[in-house]
Amino acid sequence: MSSVTEVAVPTSDFDGNAPVNGSRCMASTFSEEHRPETRNSIPWEVMKKSLPFSMRLRSPMRYWNDNRKSCEHVEPREDWKESIEKWIDWMDAIGRTNDTLRTRWYQIVRFSKAVDKSITDVTEDDLIFYLAGMGTEGRRGVRSCVKVFYQWSMKRGLARRNPADEVPTVPMTLPSGCICPEENIEQGLASPDENARLAVMLGAFCGLRRIEMTRINLKTDLEENAEGMVLHVHGKGNKERMLPVPAKLASALRKRTGVWLFPGDVQGHCGVDYVAKRIKTVTGYPSHSLRRRFATCVYYRNGCNIVLVSRMLGHANIATTMRYIGLVQDEMRNAVESTTRTDMRLTMPMNQVVGTAGSVATYSLSTARIG
């Protein structure tokens, strides 16, 4: 019997948003006879690491196309194939992560199949028609993918114009995502499922993405110092950050043994669906709602410090962080009530860097100016 190897393909982005362009293929398997021939009996697992990314993908993708008819989009339009593979190799060479490469591969391959034209004949109308009906995140991702692909193609003389140039940037909208209520978090923490409890704490108390939870290596990612435990988080785009671990979670982590916090059934760590399912089962809410809860708590309980929240979430852009913070209704009520006073006096806590803790300063709004 031939051995079977699993090849995972992401089903959502790191922030837990809906799959780009509506759907993603899940993992597939391919057996030894589908692997490319190797010289001198070099194992495929070793050889593939030295190959360009598009070649590393090619064998499992061909298997998908032959055996999973629902994944017919895996192979691009024939006259796009060579250009796409070279583009993927170029992105690999400049340091894009494997998750980004796979996502871009699927986006541009599906686009090539949908427009059914040569690279040089695609127009902005083709792109607009393709984007119509997608969700906001899907449109943003696909437009960005097409734009970058054509920028690369134009520099190499493969295209004369970029169809994405005339398509307006898709605006970033406020998310409709929910924040997990405190009673549901308590419910999750009371679960008899130890892995579920750990996942809930990592999301609610540390703001980790689900993929970041699965990557925790107990041997290398946990450190102890005089103040307590610190977690080394492997985040989106190969970005890493250090997070203090609250005492309650640290106590639970110290009891774990092995290499991975959430080990896989055969080897390595588990997939994101394992974590997401457990969180949803014990709290009734999606895993990303815990991350939003974490962001909101850190913001309001630490002086509304948006920079602090952004750093702890691992965001490169504060504008992204603002989408995670929920508006507290009591704060909104206090804000509107404060505008009804007509004394034009404004009392604010003094900056503790230049003032003394607990002191206040009074200003006159009549002196305020814009510009």
Same domain as 220, residue 83: no
Same domain as 217, residue 76: no
Domain boundary among 133, 166, 199: 166
Query: For residue 60, what are the domain limits?
Result: 4-166
List average pLDDT for each run of 10 residues in the chain, which is 371 residues long: 40 39 35 39 48 50 35 72 92 84 88 92 92 80 93 94 86 66 93 95 93 93 92 86 93 93 85 90 92 90 88 86 77 74 59 46 51 44
Same domain as 64, residue 207: no
Which pair of structure tokens corresponds to residue 93? 């060479």
Which pair of structure tokens corresponds to residue 74? 């895996």
pLDDT for 53: 53
pLDDT for 268: 84
Strands (E) across the chain are located at: 4-7, 28-31, 222-225, 228-234, 240-244, 345-349, 360-364
Please answer whether residues 301 and 309 qualify as being in contact, where contact means their C-beta atoms are separated by less than 8 angstroms. Answer: no
Same domain as 254, residue 133: no
Same domain as 194, residue 290: yes
Helix/strand/coil for 177: coil
Same domain as 113, residue 33: yes
Domain boundary among 306, 322, 338: 322
Please answer whether residues 7 and 29 qualify as being in contact, where contact means their C-beta atoms are separated by less than 8 angstroms. Answer: yes
Query: Is residue 369 domain-resident?
Result: no
Which residues are 224's β-sheet partners? Answer: 229
Which pair of structure tokens corresponds to residue 304? 């509304």
Q: Please name the residue ranges forming H helices in 70-174.
A: 81-93, 98-115, 124-131, 136-155
Phi–psi pair at 308, nearest 5 degrees: -60, -45
Same domain as 151, residue 37: yes
- Angstrom distance (rounded) from CA 53 to CA 85: 8
Query: Is residue 345 domain-resident?
Result: no
In the chain, DSSP finds a helix count (H) and a strand count (E) of 15, 7
- Angstrom distance (rounded) from CA 179 to CA 163: 38
- Angstrom distance (rounded) from CA 351 to CA 366: 21
Hunting for tokens 């009891």 — which residue is that? Answer: 255
Domain boundary among 114, 138, 166: 166
Query: Is residue 354 domain-resident?
Result: no
pLDDT for 56: 53
pLDDT for 345: 61
Q: How many CA atoms lie within 13 A of 252 on its CB side?
A: 17
pLDDT for 346: 56
pLDDT for 137: 72
CA-nearest of 250, 210, 248, 215 to 230 is 250
pLDDT for 172: 60
CB atoms within 10 A of CB 193: 13
Query: Is residue 353 domain-resident?
Result: no
Same domain as 230, residue 162: no
Query: Is residue 356 domain-resident?
Result: no
Same domain as 300, residue 245: yes
For the four alpha carbons of 353, 355, 357 and 359, in that order, the dihedral sign comes to negative
- Angstrom distance (rounded) from CA 369 to CA 326: 29
Q: How far is CA 72 from CA 61, 81, 110, 275, in A?
A: 10, 14, 9, 29
Please answer whether residues 109 and 76 qualify as being in contact, where contact means their C-beta atoms are separated by less than 8 angstroms. Answer: yes
pTM: 0.56
Same domain as 154, residue 46: yes
Phi–psi pair at 170, nearest 5 degrees: -75, 120
Same domain as 134, residue 8: yes
Please answer whether residues 31 and 6 qualify as being in contact, where contact means their C-beta atoms are separated by less than 8 angstroms. Answer: no
Q: Which amino acid is at 7?
A: V
- Angstrom distance (rounded) from CA 279 to CA 275: 6
Which pair of structure tokens corresponds to residue 190? 């009371």
Query: Which CATH number goes with the domain that contains 211?
Result: 1.10.443.10
pLDDT for 40: 44
Query: Is residue 334 domain-resident?
Result: no
pLDDT for 348: 53
Instruction: Report the number of distinct structural domains present in the chain.
Output: 2
Reported as type and span, the H/E element at residue 197 is helix 194-206
- Angstrom distance (rounded) from CA 176 to CA 274: 24
Query: Is residue 107 domain-resident?
Result: yes
Which pair of structure tokens corresponds to residue 254? 């110290």
- Angstrom distance (rounded) from CA 350 to CA 359: 6
Please answer whether residues 57 and 102 qualify as being in contact, where contact means their C-beta atoms are separated by less than 8 angstroms. Answer: yes
Query: Which CATH number goes with the domain that contains 47?
Result: 1.10.150.130
Same domain as 253, residue 189: yes
Q: How far is CA 137 from CA 13, 24, 133, 172, 209, in A?
A: 10, 14, 12, 8, 17
Query: Is residue 158 domain-resident?
Result: yes
